[in-house]
Each structure stands twice: as C-alpha cells, then as structure tokens.
Amino acid sequence: MSLTINEIIAQKYIFFYQYQPLEAYNDLRRTEVIPVTDPTGRPNRSVYPESERTRNSNTPLNIDRYSAFEPSTKLFWAK
C-alpha cells in the first residue's frame, strides 16, 4: 500500500485534533493539506493563556483574540 504525504498529514491532523490541538493547528498552517474555509479567516498565531501572561514577563501583551487574525501578526518562524 502506497500512501501519499497528503494522506499521512491528514490522518495525523485527525488524531492530533483531539489530543494535541496546537500541534494539529501548526501542521495545518505548515502544510495546508486540509483547506481552511472559515469565512473569518485563519488566525496567524495562538493567543497566550492568562496564566502565561501573568507568570511570564516576556510574554507579548499585544497578542489577543483580535490581533491574532491580523496579517501583520506572525509567529517568529513564519516571518
């Protein structure tokens, strides 16, 4: 049986969606194997949880649930 990389990534996404959603999201952004049809767009990065923002002084404070969708907001490796 011969699987293509798209089939493998799709199966990985299905598994990670439930157990490791951040990894599933990163693979979706990286490979774009599964088309995103959300009319509001796809966020460019995840929002930091409140616990991270209060405990880590190095957390960027300008990333919120609105700015995550702006094209200028990128992850360091996506610039």
**Percent of the chain at pLDDT above 70?**
62
Q: Domain map of the chain by residue range?
A: 5-78
Give the CA dihedral 73, 36, 77, 4, nearest 10 degrees: 180
46 pLDDT more than 60? yes
* Mean pLDDT calculated for residue range 63-70: 67
Element (H, E) at 4: none
- Please give the pLDDT value at position 75: 64
> What is the number of other CB atoms lying within 10 angstroms of the CB of residue 8?
12
